Structure 1
Amino acid sequence: MGVPAATTLLWDVGNVIVRWNPRTLYEKVFEEPAELDRFLSHVCTMDWHLAHDRGVTFAENRQGLLARFPEYAEQIHAWETRWWEMFSGPIAETEAAIHALADRGVAQYGLTNMSAETFAGTIAMSPAFAHIAGFVVSGDEGVIKPEPEIFRRAATRFGLDPARTLFVDDSAHNIEAAQALGFRVLHFTDPAALRPALEAHGLL
């Protein structure tokens, strides 16, 4: 007997369904590339940003940075006040895949590292999100990918069989964590490779 086809999709959101990159905003804020690089590597870093994904508010999380880097106060505030300028729109190939899966009746869910403060605005960016039946959002849960607990919560909440659920994420660490828990996985690096991968798993 062959391996049973997958029956369910579990989607990451950022850089899988919609493109997000702080540089998209801060390239408009800083004139000098070197200062931009310093800001993102020493001030508003991705390690710092993870606190938002864990449920810390923007207002609370920036207080320490404002005290340490008062010269960057305006730019630090922009992480929240100009948050939406970090996005460059939906990924067309993923939108098309979500619509095609919905037409086939494939169950689709979301598992995202995201602030609870930005979730509603993010899923308003594309009509494709309407086909995703439920989300586990790290900012609401207080745990983040790649911690195993958040994958277990998604599986329990949505009644997922990991062996028949394809998890799609752009982070290699998240992919490795899901695979260790028995999920089928697709490391999303090339939008053009998405549909062939879904076909290979028997979803399209």
Structure 2
Amino acid sequence: MLMYPTWVLREMKRICEVADVLFIADEIMTGWGRTGTLFASEQANITPDIVCYSKGITGGALPLAVTLCRADIFEAHYSSDRTRTFFHSSSYTANPVACAAAKANLELWKDPETRCRMMSVAAMQENAIEPFRADARFENVRRTGTVTALDLKASDAGYLAGIGPKLQSFFKDRNLLLRPLGNTIYVMPPYCVMAADIDEIYAGIRDAADAFGGFCGSAA
């Protein structure tokens, strides 16, 4: 769960342009308001050559993914010549039920109230995570839009940290749907989340730090 400033994205796009390399933006997780704007690329004021959307495209109701590209890239593959065809179809391509869910979700994003709700969730997330910045048991406490993440200090920190499965089991027993990435705990609540839900989530995170204090500490 790495977070970086918008200038990094802009510089990546500049490097790709100089090198005549296609710039692909993976907005599967960051799209649909997660970073504070509809898409993360907006914050860097860039237009990707190719972009990938999924997850939030249906509001999380059904699985669906879409890849968009510049017109010239599309035209390069639009041909009856099989040597130029971009073979991308699969068994569930253009599933009508999933597409209907996506259409309904797109209509919701046209409503200003949807973006207001997104900003409200971001504010709740900031208020909830702020106390953890002064908690010595955690480090790299961060937030971008509606996404927060913090690292529980552990002797074997990293994606495969031994504390990861223990944390996941702990949260499951608390009826909290959280999936730590090793010793990194991240929170991506649905936009229908309420303040009481947020309080319960972060209370669980504090309790997890209390429960697993023996696993924490600096590496030897």
Instruction: State the structure with more CA Rg.
Output: 2
Q: Verify same fold: TM over 0.5.
A: no
TM-score computed with the length of structure 1 as normaliser: 0.30
TM-score by length of structure 2 reads 0.29
Higher RCO (CA-CA < 8 Å; seq separation 6+): 1
